[in-house]
Amino acid sequence: MMLLSRRAFLMGTLAALPYLYLEKESVRIRRYLVPVQDLPRAFEGFTILHLSDLHDKEYGPEGELLLALVQRERFDMVALTGDLVVGTAPSLKPALDLVAGIKKFFGGPIFSVPGNHDWRLDRGEEFNERLRQAGAKVIPNQTAVVEKGDERLQVVGIDDPVTRRARLAQAMDDTGAESPVVLLSHSPHPFPLAAKLGVDLMLCGHTHGGQLRLPLLGAAFVPAMGFFPPWDLGVFRKGKTTLIVSGGLGESGIPLRINIRPELTLATLVNRLPEAPSGWDATG
């Protein structure tokens, strides 16, 4: 009986391997329509490519597999929301390859903010500088502006909330009420404050969607957020503020994903929500 049980376990494990490989290596694209009050006409349809939590992960030599996927999409801005590295021997090369590869075909801005793993060995400043050299605009606790003619979109970046480096109120000091605000944060922690301060869209990662995701229940546990966190994956709204939490591209701890494939997201700004096209998620 014990022999049969072991054999059944082994057969079940072998049968699950293709599924586990697909969950870890096959990238999903999530698309969102985001309503923004008083969105300037020039920014109607403005699309943000959001990438998070790469964690040293390589998608082919020099990231060519991920870059091939990205290159097929249309977007106006790139947002990197931290944890580009992981572990005690971090490699920033996959992230640098990704930024450099996108720069080859994309002329728009690439904004970046740090995550908790980027600061783990106190190398955050070094990594920020190397990302700048590759072509990213690193904006921890800073505000940048994207202009289209006379109209503007304000992009606020904050340093990592998990390690308590985020200064959202300080970063928002440089914003004006006349233009929409997009906030880039590694984790969802500042969401209540972002809503209070009138942020229109907040993009973050950190959760990996739980990495091991339970059907119907979602993320059972997320580091620095605890069990069954309130903002684990997808879209959340508070007042005029939309929060989009990405499941990220890489893994930490166990190199495994269950019920949550790696993903990149595309968030498109609109004045009002039309009927969502096939394959898109309306957030209102």
Q: Each residue of 104-137: pLDDT tens digit?
A: 999 999 999 999 999 999 999 999 999 999 999 9
Task: Yes or no: say if 111 and 137 are a contact pair by the CB < 8 Å rule.
Answer: yes
Q: Is the pLDDT of residue 36 over 80?
A: yes
Report how far residue 202's alpha carbon sits from residue 236's, in angstroms, rounded to the nearest whole number. Answer: 10
Report how far residue 27's alpha carbon sits from residue 69's, in angstroms, rounded to the nearest whole number. Answer: 9
Mean pLDDT of the chain: 91
Record the pTM.
0.90
Average pLDDT over residues 162-179: 95
In the chain, the domains with their CATH numbers are 2-282 (3.60.21.10)
Report how far residue 279's alpha carbon sits from residue 57's, in angstroms, rounded to the nearest whole number. Answer: 26
Provide the token pair at 160. Answer: 């990592």
Report how far residue 49's alpha carbon sits from residue 72's, in angstroms, rounded to the nearest whole number. Answer: 12
Report how far residue 49's alpha carbon sits from residue 128's, in angstroms, rounded to the nearest whole number. Answer: 20
Q: What pLDDT is attached to residue 3?
A: 46
